Every structure is written in C-alpha cells, then in structure tokens.
Amino acid sequence: MLTLRQLFLANNAQTTDFPLLLEFERAQGVYMYNAEGKAWLDLISGIGVSNIGHGNPEVIEAIKQQLDKYMHLMVYGEYVQTPQVRFAEKLASLLPQTLQTVYFTNSGAEAIEGAMKLAKRYTCRNKIVACHNAYHGSTQGALSVMGNEDFKQAYRPLLPGIQFIKFNEVDDLNYITEETACVIIETIQGEAGIRVPDATYMKALRERCTQTGTLLIFDENQTAFGRTGKLFAFEHFNIVPDILVLGKALGGGMPLGAFISSLEIMGSLKNNPILGHITTFGGHPVCCASGLASLEVLLRDDLIIQVTEKENLFKKLLVHPAIKQVRGKGLMLAVELDNFNLLKKIIDHSIAQGIIIDWFLHCSNSMRIAPPLIITDEQIEQACTIILQAINIYTNY
C-alpha cells in the first residue's frame, strides 16, 4: 500500500521539484504537529494567514455553528446572508468612510482581479500602473501586474497596458497620467523581501492619483489584520486608498478575499453590463463566520498592540556577522543573508530542528519571518536561538 507521501506525489499537483513533504496531523496555536507528536513552530503563519494562530477555539466554534445553519445558498450578492452582512458591517466600522462597501471573493488573487475590473469600469480607462518586484497573485490578471519577468514570461501574452514603476521612487510617479485607470501597489512589498516605503512617497503617490483621477488600489493581502502593528498597514502613512484588497488572514484560516471601496465606485459594477463581477463561492457563509470570529478575537485580545515589542525582540536577537540586514514592519520581517544557497541550508536545518521559516519569491537571499501574532517572547527566543545556530553551522563565523 502506498504511503500518504507517495500518494501526495502521485496524485497532487506539484509546484516545485522539491516540496518540503512535511506531514502534519494537527495544528494549535503557533505549532503544527505530525502523527508522532513532533512539533514545529510556525514562523510564517501559512504565508500570512494564521494571524491569531492555528485552531483558535472561538473560530472553530463559529464555523461549527454556521455549518449547522447553512453553507452555500446562491452566487454572491443576491441573498441576504447573515455571515456576509455581519462581517462586512464589522469591516466597514473599522475603515474610513470611503471604504464602506465590501465585495467578498474566494481569495486575495481573485480580489485583485475584481479590483482591477472595478477600476477600469469606474474610470473608463484601461491603463494600469504597477511596481517592479510586486506580487499580487498568480491568476492571469494578477500575474500581469507582477513585477518579476522570470515568473511570468512563460505565460504571455498577458494583459496589455501595464506600466511598471520603481517602488518608493517619487520621480516614477510621473508615469501616472489621466489615462491611468489605477495604480495597484502593496502597502509594504512582501515578496520583494519586505520593503517599507517612505511616508513622503506614499503621500506623493496619493496626491498624484488624486490629481490625475486615478484610483489607488492598496494590496493588503499580506499586511492587514495587525501584521505590521496596525490593523491595516495604510494607517502607518495617514492616507486612504480608493480600493482596498484583502485576503490571507481575512478568513481566519478559511479561504476568503475581498475588495472594498465606496458605494459610488462599487456601484459601477451593477450596470452596463449588469453582473459586472460574479463569483459563485465568494463570501462563503462559513468562511465569513470564521473571518468575523477571528477579527473579533484579534481586537478583543489586543494582539496588535503587542506586535511592535515582538518585532523589536526579533531585531534585538537576530544579530550575526552573516546577517546583512533585518527589514520590515511589525511581525513581517526579512532577514537578509549573502545568497540563496546559504539561506536554503539554514531553512532546512531550522525545519529539522522544528522551526518553519521560508524565503521570498523576488528576494531569494532573505528569510521570511511572519509568525502568528500570538507568539510569546519565549518562543521568539527559542526560534532565534535555532536560527542563529544554523547560521553558525553554515558560515565561517
């Protein structure tokens, strides 16, 4: 009889020739466990998903309660479904007045697709500005605004009319014109290796978009829900986008995305033609129930106000001659090393010692650290000790 690993390799589509092949049976808090009970400390939160940790009992209870009521009933936007209404109401209560209308989708990438369509429909323009080294998802539209040719050259032709600019470069904002439908930008670049823009750049970006009538789309798939020390990362810059894109942590561990805008802008999807954007499973009631419960736990337990102190602890501990830089905001950090070969050895060693770390698509010499926000100081110290031990083993220091 084939093992589970053999069946995985035989029947599940692979995305690389070297999957990690870790087998987990359960997850709780910041840990994931295999069948023998070995624990791994999750320092990447399933790539920015598990902000309040794995298996939160209140989230699980909300899911169970909704399962007993109903699951899918109708394509999104036709029936009044309580989980969708309550979650949208809660999100709107936490956002500026110009971000009050929520369109739930299945994922962050689908939300990016919807946001781009919305911008084109509302402005009646077809040009889009995006950033070099950006990552917005892997669907055809999202891939079109990815700023890394290596990852998308095999899939051309992609969307036309995309202009790429340098992130955090004020002079490049002149490429935004009266012909630009939208600028789509990560509030903090993720897969580029955690690049935090200057406040002056973000203010100039907002002003240029307003001046040209261009919609500003913030992709907060990785940054939202406390990850950077604010509920939403755009709050660090005292500006507001025209469209906000959410995913990853939005669903509390369940698949969910959303794009959010004003009633006026979002209303342009209703006519000429009607049903301007359609999703069957977007805003699934179980996912919305999970997302609302997760958000309520995040806010009630004051997890966000602890993030900066935990960031500082990581930066205090991760000091080594082989570490070139520790970049980031909150618990969204990049630890830069010399090259990918060194980093891969450190990743593999750390995983063998029970610490899950990772790298970035567009910055392969930097280590991703983005643990659940519930991580304790003791767990941070344990993780950093193992990482530093691994660095010592594979360097000459």
pLDDT digits (tens, 9 = 90+) for 217-265: 999 999 999 999 999 999 999 999 999 999 999 999 999 999 999 999 9
Residues 6+ apart with CB under 8 A from 149: none
Other C-beta atoms closer than 10 Å to the C-beta of 75 total 14
Its domain, for residue 35, covers 13-55+302-394
Span 153-174, pLDDT tens digits: 999 999 999 999 999 999 999 9
Residue 2 within a domain: no
329 and 290 together in one domain: no
Query: What is the mean predicted confidence (pLDDT) over 81-105?
Result: 98
Range list of β-strands (E), the chain: 26-28, 31-33, 39-42, 101-105, 127-131, 162-165, 180-186, 215-219, 243-246, 257-261, 325-328, 333-336, 355-356, 358-360, 363-369
Of 12-16, 123-127, 306-310, 342-346, give the lowest mean pLDDT range: 12-16
Ranges of H-type helices in 335-376? 340-352
Tell me the average pLDDT of the chain. Answer: 97
Which domain CATH number covers 276? 3.40.640.10
Same structural domain for residues 32 and 120?
no
Please tell me whether residues 211 and 77 are part of one structural domain. yes
Q: How far apart are CA 173 and CA 176, in angstroms?
A: 6
| Direct distance between the N- and C-terminal alpha carbons of the chain, in angstroms, rounded to an integer | 47
Within a domain: 3: no
- The answer on 270 and 189 residing in a single domain is yes
Give the per-residue pLDDT at 133: 97
pLDDT value at residue 253? 97
pTM value? Answer: 0.97
- Vertex 72, ends 68 and 74: CA angle to 5°? 135
- For residue 397, the model assigns a pLDDT of 76
Is the per-residue pLDDT at 186 higher than 80? yes
| DSSP type of residue 195 | B
Boundary residue ending a domain (246, 280, 300) = 300
Which of 270, 300, 330 is where one domain is finished? 300
Q: What whole-number distance in Å separates Cα of residue 390 and Cα of residue 397? A: 11
- Looking at the structure, tell me whether residues 306 and 378 fall in a common domain: yes
Angle (CA) 193 39 337, round 5°:
25
Q: Residue 296 pLDDT more than 90? A: yes
Q: What is the mean pLDDT of residues 279-286?
A: 97
State residue 301's pLDDT score. 97
- Tens digits of per-residue pLDDT, 28-51? 999 999 999 999 999 999 999 999
Q: Is residue 26 part of a domain?
A: yes
Same domain membership, residue 173 and residue 72: yes
Number of domains making up the chain: 2
Which pLDDT belongs to residue 396? 78
Do 245 and 348 lie in a common domain? no
Identify whether residues 247 and 312 lie together within a single domain. Answer: no
Same-domain status, 67 and 202: yes
Residue 297: pLDDT over 90: yes
Mean pLDDT of 302-320: 98
What pLDDT, in 10s, does the model give residues 195-220? 999 999 999 999 999 999 999 999 99
CA distance 183 to 163: 9
Q: Are 47 and 62 members of one domain?
A: no
pLDDT at 357 over 80: yes
Determine the average pLDDT of the residues in 263-290. Answer: 96
Give the CATH number, domain containing residue 378. 3.90.1150.10
